[in-house]
Structure formats: structure tokens, C-alpha cells
Amino acid sequence: MFCNFDEIVNRKGTDSFKWDKAKDRFGRDDIIPMWIADTEFRTDQRIIDAIKTRAEHGVFGYTFRSKSYYDSIIKWIKNRYKWDVKNEWITFSPGIVPALSMCVTSFSHPGDKIITQTPVYPPFYSVVEHNGRKLIKNKLKIINNRYVIDFEDLNKKMRIKNTYFTSKLNDLECKFDSSIKMLFLCNPHNPTGRVWTREELLKIGEICLENNIIIVSDDIHSDIVYKDYKYIPIASLSKEIENITVTCISPGKTFNLTGLATSSIIIPNEKLREKFNRTLDTLELDGGNVFGTLTAEIAYTYGEKWVDNLLQYLEQNLNYLINFFNNNIPDIKPIKPEGTYLVWLDCSKLGLKGTELMDFFVNEAKIGVNPGFTFGVDAENFVRINIGCSIKQLEKALLSLETAVKKLKVD
């Protein structure tokens, strides 16, 4: 299996968000772009070959998703994650963010509330708020440099509606508190890199079951998990949890195919699935595209080894980064991710936050990163860096950061 993750691919001039929008985003384009969550890697050669062969056919009319497409998804999930998924449970969305938005409109009403663990991927806020719902924050806690779920807070926020029947809350408060309809889970979690454990997932599942809350689990990063950790689809834990869960997956992050806009939304519960599909039909979004369907099937059918190699490469990058910060830039503390190629950097000790911190990264270190404050109000001292690139690029970025931090301390 040949894969050369060291290869430097020039993406400038390909309408790449990460490279060609750097100037719009950061005000300059002489930066090393380590922000938006795609990788610098060429995808598996078999995927490229399949695209070429199909492109040569020259006719790109309407297509449908065949049985072999669904079989490839089912096999991937079974082989890698030991979850038995049925063909009819799998529905479609062009992307996972559109799927989250469709879940919001399918399973809740304007004014309803959706709870999630924060800090979190910014569209978790926008798909809720743009649809006229409210996001309730279950803030993660940091213990020993690792984020954990505050179950006491989650329990309290979810259970308030039980008091509707028993407490003396005034009427307004009762209505307010009884309207959490959904929990948005991100597993693995962006930006903290946590891969939730069986125990954590079971607790979440139990709380949601007890409180009639639908779980929407965004598992887009599920294939990118480091060797000491294990991704478990929350729906695989029990039939009861499966019945209240919508699981969103895609080959996009794993195989660098996000531009082909094809994801799978797995909804075992027939009623929930019907609701979701009604929204999908109303928006006329079910069509998909010929290359997205083709590449997902090829990736899921033949991509196991390629992904295993990718994981080794990313682990090497991650170890390099952790050692580099420990040895050379101790004032920045990376939160070691258990999954994803995104690393959440605690920059508190630099004494900069928010836009000042971003200004430092962009104009002094010359690295394009995602600002922490876009992930939540308590994350002003953080930035997110993307290590899905050649180790050369990572080395260059970190050396540049080291020089900038040294200069900052002298100044």
C-alpha cells in the first residue's frame, strides 16, 4: 500500500479555503495555514483512479445510491466499530453540518433548547441559533490537562423538566426548563480531541433516555483515533440508546474528501427517520453527487490500510508536536487529543487572549490557526491548530512559533 504523507502538494490556486482564503481570513497570505479542518494529504490512489475512470465516461446525469454503496458503509462500521447497521437506517446529507441543521428543524420547534458540551465546533451554535432554538451549554471541565464531562451539571440541566410536575417553579420557568429536546454530541470531540469512553457514553445515554432527549451524535472524526483510544458509536451501546440516536458519519475528514459533500446519517428509529427524510425531501437535498457517492464507496470498501497508515503518520506528528511544546515552548500547553488531527492549545501563559492572541499567531508567528473564542466564551486563551499535514510543514510552523514566543518574552 503506497501512501506518501510526506509529499508536499501545492493547493494554492485550487480554490482551497485553507490556502486561497488565507488573505481574506487573516489579512495576509504569507502564513502557514493550519486552520480549517481538512488535511494536506492526497487521498488514497484507488479513490483518485476511480474518479478518473468515471470522469472518462463523460456522462454525469442523475444517479442513485446503489446497494453496494450501502453495503460498503455497513461493512466499514461493522468491521471497525462492531455495530450492526441495517441498510434502511442509512439516509443521506450532503454534509454533516446540513444534517445537524435538518435534525434541529425535524426534531424540535422554534424556542426549544438543545444541549451540548462546550467549547465546541462553531456550527453547533449557528445551526441551533439560526433556526431560532437556544443552545444550552454543558461546559466541559479540565482535569489533569484532559477535558471531562460535567455530569452533575448535565444531570441538573436535563432533569429540571422533571421538577415541572413536582416543584413550585413558576409557570414561566416550567415552560422554559421543560424544553430541552436534543443533545448534540461530538465524538471524537472538536476541539478538545476527547474520544468519549464507554462509561461516559453510557451515562449520557442513560440521562437522555430518562429525560426523553434525542441524541444527535456528530461522529465525523470517528476514524481518526490514536492507538490507546477507541471510538464507540453511542448508538451501539444498547437497543434503547440506538432507538433515540441519530449518528452522523462521513469519509470526508478521514480520506480528505470534504469537497465532495457526501455523508451518511444513520437513524434506526423509523419515526425519527421519517421526520428527517421529510425535511431532506422538502429541501430537495437527497440527490447527492456522482463523485461523492463513488468515492465514499471506494473509500469504505478499500480504504482500511490507507487509514491505518494515515493514523500512524498523524500519531508521529502528534508526538512531535507534544515533545516540541514540552521542550521548546513550555508556555503553550497542548491538550493531547485522543482523536482528530486538531490540537487545542492552551496559551494562557502567554498573557494574550482573544484577538490579541490571534494577532500574535498571524502577524508574529505567521501561522493561521482557529481562534479559541469561536468555540465558546471560555476559550479566549486557546487556539486550535491542524496537524493534518506533512511533518515538514508542522516543523516549520512550530519553529516559527518558537521564535515568535521567544521574541514576545524579550519584548
- Residue ranges in contact with ligand PLP by CB under 6 A: 37, 95-97, 121, 186, 190, 218, 220, 250, 252, 258, 263
The least CB distance from residue 256 to ligand PLP, in Å, is: 12
Whichever of 193 and 205 has its CB closer to ligand PLP, that residue is 193
- Cell numbers linked to 261: 459533500
Is the CA virtual torsion 319, 322, 324, 326 positive or negative? negative
Distance CA 74, CA 20 (A): 36
DSSP-derived letter for residue 231 is -
Phi, psi dihedral angles at 288 (to 5 degrees): 70, -170
The least CB distance from residue 188 to ligand PLP, in Å, is: 8
Distance CA 349, CA 156 (A): 33
Whichever of 177 and 218 has its CB closer to ligand PLP, that residue is 218
Would you say 213 and 257 are in contact if contact means Cβ atoms under 8 Å apart? Answer: no
Q: Burial letters for 63-96: b for 16+ Cβ neighbours within 10 Å, e otherwise? A: eebeeebbebbbebbeebbebebeeebbbbbbbb
Distance CA 371, CA 354 (A): 7
The least CB distance from residue 121 to ligand PLP, in Å, is: 4
Distance CA 217, CA 100 (A): 9
The least CB distance from residue 105 to ligand PLP, in Å, is: 16
Would you say 118 and 191 are in contact if contact means Cβ atoms under 8 Å apart? Answer: no
The least CB distance from residue 169 to ligand PLP, in Å, is: 35
Whichever of 133 and 221 has its CB closer to ligand PLP, that residue is 221
Whichever of 92 and 324 has its CB closer to ligand PLP, that residue is 92
The least CB distance from residue 120 to ligand PLP, in Å, is: 8
The least CB distance from residue 337 to ligand PLP, in Å, is: 12
- Cell numbers linked to 13: 490556486
Whichever of 220 and 310 has its CB closer to ligand PLP, that residue is 220
* Biggest alpha carbon–alpha carbon distance for the chain: 70
Whichever of 169 and 261 has its CB closer to ligand PLP, that residue is 261
Whichever of 37 and 204 has its CB closer to ligand PLP, that residue is 37
Task: Tell how strand 180-186 and strand 146-148 pair up.
Answer: unpaired
Phi, psi dihedral angles at 53 (to 5 degrees): -60, -45
Whichever of 190 and 390 has its CB closer to ligand PLP, that residue is 190
Question: For the residues of 83-138, what is the DSSP string, one character each?
Answer: ----GGGEEEESSHHHHHHHHHHHH--TT-EEEEEES--THHHHHHHTTT-EEEEE
The least CB distance from residue 190 to ligand PLP, in Å, is: 4
The least CB distance from residue 96 to ligand PLP, in Å, is: 4
CB count within 10 Å of CB 211 equals: 17
Whichever of 115 and 350 has its CB closer to ligand PLP, that residue is 115
Question: In the complex, which residue's CB is closest to ligand PLP?
Answer: 95
- Cell numbers linked to 177: 426548563
